[in-house]
């Protein structure tokens, strides 16, 4: 297993660390960036931490040749006051260039997109690469679900590990936490918290990334995205066939076609093994449709 990470910023470097810690790459971890010295320095620092797996830092895309999984974190992060959609123009150009190199040097790889706006960049990567849709996946609902579970556990003063939840839709303000499917230790969330408390948690989840940005000022979240990516990498590398909410290609599911959006999917050695179509009620379907409409409107801003 050779894993390459494109983008050696906070998310990319932290992802590399977690991949090494979890022993997910048996052959090599490659850290790539266009900034000279950045990936080399971070790779050297990681290598000096005592890991047995080879770690390479480079500005040369050819170093990812033969990669099984390519994680893309390249792009400009949000600043305070910015929405993810504000990044479309500049990050689209970066992702186009990145994907041309992925096709050249890692044409059989599985892509995990992390760059924002996530669903739109995942769609762009799919279109530019012409890879099978199953091999192009976006990290969206895994992170959003982590945030939701965290805020629920804080409100209840209970372990986050006992919270089971799903967040669907676009990785943005119109994401859809499915309260009807949320439980804590098997107990429905609605029996433990009032609607008012749940609504506050939903709102904080939707603004979870922006809240981090507002504190950091010059950067965005990196520990939680890296943990989310690592969960997905493990599911693929070990063929765990885990059911995770990710940005996956829809071809008729949930009434949508030619669209990437956050849905539950089984992740295994081939990438997205299957999209799971839940039986949603009218309110949930309406919320998901609005989220899909928002993503479609952003996709229209792309020049592919």
* Active-site amino acid positions: 171
Q: 162 CB contacts (<8 Å, ≥6 apart)?
A: 153, 184, 185
C-alpha to C-alpha distance for 73 and 161, rounded to whole angstroms = 27
- Report CA 132 to chain centroid distance, whole Å: 18
**3-class SS at 279?**
coil
Check: CB of residue 123 under 8 Å from CB of residue 82.
Answer: no
What is the C-alpha radius of gyration for the chain, rounded to an integer number of angstroms? 18
DSSP conformation letters of 70-84: EEE--SPPP-TT--G
* DSSP state for residue 278 in the 8-state scheme: -
**How far from 286 is each of 201, 254, 282, 290, CA to CA, in Å?**
20, 11, 6, 6
Q: What is the largest CA-CA distance in the chain?
A: 54
């Amino acid at each position: 297993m050779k894993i390459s990470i494109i983008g050696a910023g906070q998310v990319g470097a932290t992802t590399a660390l977690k991949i090494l810690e979890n022993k997910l790459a048996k052959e090599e971890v490659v850290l790539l960036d266009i900034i000279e010295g950045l990936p080399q320095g971070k790779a050297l620092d990681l290598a000096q931490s005592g890991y047995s797996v080879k770690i390479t830092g480079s500005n040369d895309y050819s170093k990812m040749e033969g990669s099984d999984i390519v994680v893309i974190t390249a792009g400009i992060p949000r600043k305070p006051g910015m929405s993810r959609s504000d990044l479309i123009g500049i990050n689209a150009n970066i992702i186009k260039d990145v994907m041309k190199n992925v096709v050249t040097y890692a044409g059989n790889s599985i892509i995990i997109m992390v760059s924002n706006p996530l669903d739109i960049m995942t769609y762009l990567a799919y279109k530019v690469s012409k890879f099978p849709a199953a091999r192009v996946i976006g990290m969206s609902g895994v992170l959003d679900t982590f945030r939701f579970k965290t805020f629920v556990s804080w409100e209840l003063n209970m372990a986050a590990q006992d919270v089971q939840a799903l967040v669907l839709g676009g990785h943005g303000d119109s994401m859809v936490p499915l309260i009807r499917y949320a439980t804590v230790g098997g107990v429905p969330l609605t029996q433990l918290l009032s609607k008012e408390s749940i609504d506050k948690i939903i709102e904080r989840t939707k603004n979870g990334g922006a809240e981090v940005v507002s504190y950091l000022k010059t950067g965005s979240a990196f520990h939680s995205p890296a943990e989310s990516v690592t969960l997905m990498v493990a599911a693929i590398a070990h063929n765990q066939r885990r059911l995770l909410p990710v940005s996956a290609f829809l071809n008729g599911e949930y009434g949508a076609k030619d669209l990437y959006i956050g849905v539950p999917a089984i992740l295994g050695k081939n990438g997205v093994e299957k999209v799971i179509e839940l039986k949603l009620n009218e309110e949930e379907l309406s919320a998901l449709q609005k989220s899909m409409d928002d993503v479609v409107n952003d996709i229209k801003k792309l020049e592919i």
